[in-house]
Structure 1
């Protein structure tokens, strides 16, 4: 039978309800508690399900969503305007920034915000005192003003009466002023009522507009078009993107009302936008990098176009650079030296273009390279551009040892000192012999530089012109993993490579390592650690990425794993090219294929420079005379009893710039200290004494005479 007393509008529970024996009609408190358990839990579950259903239905109702949306706009706008007013009328802003600076441990910022807060309070106190003084002096000022105005009007009226001959004209100016006041009062009375009545509505509209602009309503209540994202990644777009990353700690911060501090607001930087934002407690840049794909999606970008990093000097700050949409898909400008121009090994060569649109130079002197990526990603294009720039300096000798059958370097062969290709033991052994030769050459060059004046001397163009033994060398080892992983020659090659790289910086030898397999097993870690310029084209995983760019780079967001093979050809993530922690570059492509040959004309031009330059490439090698530091210092001092060390250094540079350019106080002290003529303090400044230098020279001459007599 049907229970006529059962509620018709309650859904049946999702679980079977146990049969409950009928009880006599007694008060609720007389029913045993043991029989109340299951029915109460069931009814509670039914009520909760029903409530959830009602909430879901309400959220989907357009009218309910509109009420919640516009109400949230008003409430949120009122909160924002109140906070702005409070910040404008009090020192709350300065106190808040001071607390942030204290939390960050930034002493400079603490002092700056303390000074700003003190200046604000002083100015506010001054305004209040001026207002108080104005209130006290207002009656007297008003009375004086009225009296002065009345006298002026009477004088004007007297002039009018004298002119017209009618004495009544004396009061004409006063009557005009009274009429003007009457009309102003009438107009104010007409306008004041409606204005006063509309003031609450204007305030409500201002709060609503502010809340609507800041999207203070819940996400589910916003209209469909409000979810449309802006292409420009401004502060609002960045915060919205962060809100939808799905990071629990970040979501908690937003729910608790976290107010972001913009260390650097969004500004235009090159072909993109740059911002710096201090992250809330519990949120790290590594967490943001873990969601980089989602962040890029929220900002309407590809992952390669979004770069969240943490500045070295600003821990806890998110440094975000967002490229313009499609900035990686346009054509790369032609290589600047394609048709004319020369280079200087000691100044670098044009190599690529950064995402910001800036020209990126490839340094050669005191530099070495590690270039890696999967096949077809653009490694050879960058290396060829680097070598073409190098051979446009007639001083430079170029060699390439390619442990594969690769034709990329063949067009450069007429200008190369050596080109070895192949992956047989014979070619691997040739690469090993090249490393042995480089080791010996590094040692010989080091001795020559030592004869010039010690370890502080570095190779310059003038020195390279004077002695053929000091000509710069650029040596490429392509597919170098074949060399380092060779069973017979690998261990020796790794040892030689590290030795050469550690000493080659000052002597004009540049090594370029190219590989498709940048792992710890294929590339010795010491080789990677001693590489100054690292280039990662598209790689397969974070192991290869860190093998090229350095340990921990992938976790820090500096990664080439987001580059798409076959699509981002020629695009690479680099370290060491600029002052920035990393740089995304697009290498210049000097074409040589069946449709065009841009390489051969550059090589021919380089050959003309090489043969036409007044340089003795194969002539007799000259020798260097050791530099006498004592004699040079004595010549600089001249007749001066004492001279400041800075002036001595300037005089040495003028006397012998090749030797003394770049010398510091420590270099000067190291040169004079063995002779007891080192600088000392006189009247609070470091000076060099002419007497000490002369005594050192005489003592050295005496020792030379004694040595001669002994012989």
Structure 2
């Protein structure tokens, strides 16, 4: 070791950390050697942190490998890498709408419908156009004769000749006069030939059939009418008015994104940058404009979606025109901004595709509505369960009618509608239903609960039946179209609708068991052809069991009041992720909602509308299809439905706990009820003592009756337990019976 070796204060050799060195590519080193300063002795073939620090007189930042690779590419050596980078940003040869059969078919239908509309519009106005042409014929005749005369006499050169005479330019005047004479002589010959031709044509027409004479006259009227048309009043009306909305351009979008309150964007724009980048040019997409935008790092599409109202304000467009959505297939920061020409809520009522004609195949999506771009949207029922929620009056019933109509128009489907508010919204479908009920009373709720029980039994029956099918008939152990059409197999599709299902699930007596049955059906039944369609206007944990809301696969949420209701229908964290049905405006946006579980991303859909008359027409067609197929069963075939045990809790309590007995413990009442009606109350009797009291208290709560503490002396000790006082219950039953009898 040399004596000049650095040592520390203890005399030991000091360990020196050499700087990290990254070798440059050979091409870069050769480029450095050929620079004007190449005569200087090279400092090193490596770039080190210490070298950079020595040159600057202070510590320099580390040299990034990316920078060296950029220098390497600058030498033109990595041609293939550059080409690969450019290839990633190539624009598609085939437009986006042509990549999908559905998109291409929709575009083709739109083009055909547009020109069909134009043709029909103009055809219906042809008499008007003929009258206008006839009215303009005299003016056209004067114009034609006058123009031809001016041409023959060379009046267009008259001004030049007059100007030459005023200037006393004899030479020019004589030249122009000789030119005019030559023209007039030649044109006069043409005029004579034209006159002879017209005379011969008139003679021929005079001797022609009547249809030829009228055709010639019509042709003259059209020709002269066109000649006589004023320049400011065109003959043909426009079948489609031009759009009055401004084109969406990048400057407008950049300015709008700077105003919605996302700090990463506003900070970038404060430094003179755009804050966002465009993945492709803004293009026309259906009845609107589409912009594919890459948001700053750390900003997600949900951050923009929750600021939709601000974005609409910044773009100066109605809220119903602005629809931002994510594109997770690219990355979470990719945003697809679609800005329509018209407010979605102002498109008017959307006619259902199957309202007038046609039948449906249960194994295909039911036509449901349109998205903001005017593209058709369908909802699959096969192997799916559907949950619909909204505030009252926002279009929930119309959505239920559409899906029920789709199921009804497949004659192989067995239909079980339950309308649990008694308004009669689904009454037309009774004629094609196996089971049907409409009402809000306890009997109707009990009927619906019985249906849930029967559906659960049906699911349990189908599982072994499907398993027993030969492999050549059912290779994938799933119901197919062929299996559904084999009525003897008994694996036909079964669709049960429960509108206002909160009245069933929140019922004090039937609710708990119905919720358990529904959860079982949703989890198991979808693979066996049993489908539930649930609709509610009160989505909360009490009226919509979490096991039910968490397991449905297709969700449609119209206007709701808050985050809890939003997430109960659309799924946990939907509100946080920007999928907010709270943004829809009451009544204005009725029929608009978020559809989840059909497409890769949540989609805004405007549902088709079926009123009572249209629903009745659909039901009549469905009845005809089922009559021809021989698939009418149950109520539709005039058969009695399964009996329903009618339970009157208050009357039963009066029977087992008369007023003369005084106050009674809850567990005693439950035991007596179970002995009175084992089928109805037997499950209560199997509970523990406290659970019996809780069950009875929950069942009496909707009637406004509360349990009380009752003390009893047992073996010399006072024991307090919850119980009831039969007197108020008896008085309530007496008053109710008087009201029913009209007394």
- Verify the 8 A CA contact 1:332 1:586 in the aligned structure 2: no
Q: Tell me how large the CA RMSD over aligned residues is.
A: 3.0
- Verify the 8 A CA contact 2:434 2:633 in the aligned structure 1: no
Map 1:364-403 to 2 at 5 A. Answer: 364-403=381-420
The answer on 1:491 being equivalent to 2:512 is: yes
Q: Which of 246, 268, 272 lines up with 1:231 in the alignment? A: 246
Q: What do residues 296-324 of structure 1 show as CA deviations (whole Å, max 9, x unaligned)?
A: 11112333432333332302223322232
Shift of 1:287: 3.3
- Alignment TM-score, normalising by the size of structure 1: 0.53
Q: What do residues 234-282 of structure 1 show as CA deviations (whole Å, max 9, x unaligned)?
A: 3221111011223333211112343533224322223332222222245
Map 1:334-349 to 2 at 5 A. Answer: 334-349=351-366
Report what 1:433 is aligned to: 450
- Verify the 8 A CA contact 1:475 1:512 in the aligned structure 2: yes
The answer on 1:480 being equivalent to 2:495 is: no
d(CA) in 2 for partners of 1:496 and 1:366?
Answer: 18
**Bigger mean CA offset, 363-372 vs 487-496:** 487-496
d(CA) in 2 for partners of 1:332 and 1:580?
Answer: 27
Compared with structure 1, are the counterparts of its residues 118 and 586 closer, same or farther at alpha carbon in structure 2 (3 Å cutoff)?
closer
Compared with structure 1, are the counterparts of its residues 346 and 568 closer, same or farther at alpha carbon in structure 2 (3 Å cutoff)?
same
Give unmatched runs, 5+ long, in structure 2.
Answer: 1-65, 71-78, 90-243, 638-743
- Verify the 8 A CA contact 1:279 1:317 in the aligned structure 2: yes
- Verify the 8 A CA contact 2:345 2:588 in the aligned structure 1: no
- Verify the 8 A CA contact 1:296 1:303 in the aligned structure 2: yes
- Verify the 8 A CA contact 1:377 1:568 in the aligned structure 2: yes
The answer on 1:570 being equivalent to 2:591 is: yes
d(CA) in 2 for partners of 1:118 and 1:541?
Answer: 46
Q: Which of 353, 360, 370 lines up with 2:377 in the alignment? A: 360
Q: Which of 115, 128, 146 lines up with 2:84 in the alignment? A: 115
- Verify the 8 A CA contact 2:404 2:497 in the aligned structure 1: no
Report what 1:590 is aligned to: 610
Shift of 1:614: 5.4
Report what 1:518 is aligned to: 539
Map 1:282-431 to 2 at 5 A. Answer: 282-313=298-329, 314-431=331-448
Give unmatched runs, 5+ long, in structure 1.
Answer: 1-94, 100-109, 121-228, 620-711
Report what 1:648 is aligned to: none
Q: What do residues 82-123 of structure 1 show as CA deviations (whole Å, max 9, x unaligned)?
A: xxxxxxxxxxxxx99x99xxxxxxxxxx99756346999xxx
Report what 2:99 is aligned to: none
Q: Which of 479, 482, 505 lines up with 2:526 in the alignment? A: 505
d(CA) in 2 for partners of 1:284 and 1:378?
Answer: 31
- Verify the 8 A CA contact 2:366 2:403 in the aligned structure 1: yes
The answer on 1:252 being equivalent to 2:267 is: yes
Shift of 1:541: 1.5
d(CA) in 2 for partners of 1:617 and 1:411?
Answer: 16
Compared with structure 1, are the counterparts of its residues 602 and 112 closer, same or farther at alpha carbon in structure 2 (3 Å cutoff)?
farther
Report what 1:603 is aligned to: 619
Report what 2:12 is aligned to: none
Compared with structure 1, are the counterparts of its residues 553 and 255 closer, same or farther at alpha carbon in structure 2 (3 Å cutoff)?
same
d(CA) in 2 for partners of 1:613 and 1:450?
Answer: 27
- Verify the 8 A CA contact 2:389 2:396 in the aligned structure 1: yes
Shift of 1:523: 1.4
d(CA) in 2 for partners of 1:511 and 1:467?
Answer: 21
Report what 1:83 is aligned to: none
Q: Indicate the SS of the match to 1:561.
A: helix
- Verify the 8 A CA contact 1:400 1:476 in the aligned structure 2: yes
- Verify the 8 A CA contact 2:283 2:289 in the aligned structure 1: yes
d(CA) in 1 for partners of 2:350 and 2:263?
Answer: 44
Shift of 1:536: 0.9
Compared with structure 1, are the counterparts of its residues 348 and 251 closer, same or farther at alpha carbon in structure 2 (3 Å cutoff)?
closer
d(CA) in 2 for partners of 1:309 and 1:566?
Answer: 24
Q: Indicate the SS of the match to 2:357.
A: coil
Report what 2:575 is aligned to: 554
Q: What do residues 9-45 of structure 1 show as CA deviations (whole Å, max 9, x unaligned)?
A: xxxxxxxxxxxxxxxxxxxxxxxxxxxxxxxxxxxxx
d(CA) in 2 for partners of 1:492 and 1:585?
Answer: 34
Q: What do residues 447-470 of structure 1 show as CA deviations (whole Å, max 9, x unaligned)?
A: 111112489411112112223421
Shift of 1:535: 0.8
d(CA) in 1 for partners of 2:263 and 2:483?
Answer: 61
Report what 2:553 is aligned to: 532
Shift of 1:289: 3.3
Q: Which of 244, 269, 278 lines up with 2:285 in the alignment? A: 269
Shift of 1:483: 1.7
d(CA) in 1 for partners of 2:595 and 2:290?
Answer: 19
d(CA) in 2 for partners of 1:348 and 1:272?
Answer: 26
Q: What do residues 406-453 of structure 1 show as CA deviations (whole Å, max 9, x unaligned)?
A: 210112211122221222332222222111111111111111111124
d(CA) in 1 for partners of 2:455 and 2:80?
Answer: 55
Shift of 1:283: 3.5
- Verify the 8 A CA contact 1:304 1:562 in the aligned structure 2: no
Q: What do residues 475-494 of structure 1 show as CA deviations (whole Å, max 9, x unaligned)?
A: 11111112222223222222
Compared with structure 1, are the counterparts of its residues 233 and 561 closer, same or farther at alpha carbon in structure 2 (3 Å cutoff)?
farther
d(CA) in 2 for partners of 1:552 and 1:319?
Answer: 21
Q: Indicate the SS of the match to 2:378.
A: strand
d(CA) in 2 for partners of 1:377 and 1:118?
Answer: 48
Q: Indicate the SS of the match to 1:564.
A: coil
Shift of 1:378: 0.7
- Verify the 8 A CA contact 2:325 2:335 in the aligned structure 1: yes
Compared with structure 1, are the counterparts of its residues 484 and 455 closer, same or farther at alpha carbon in structure 2 (3 Å cutoff)?
farther
Shift of 1:376: 0.8
Report what 2:461 is aligned to: 444
Map 1:41-120 to 2 at 5 A. Answer: 115-116=84-85
Compared with structure 1, are the counterparts of its residues 615 and 598 closer, same or farther at alpha carbon in structure 2 (3 Å cutoff)?
closer
- Verify the 8 A CA contact 1:231 1:299 in the aligned structure 2: no
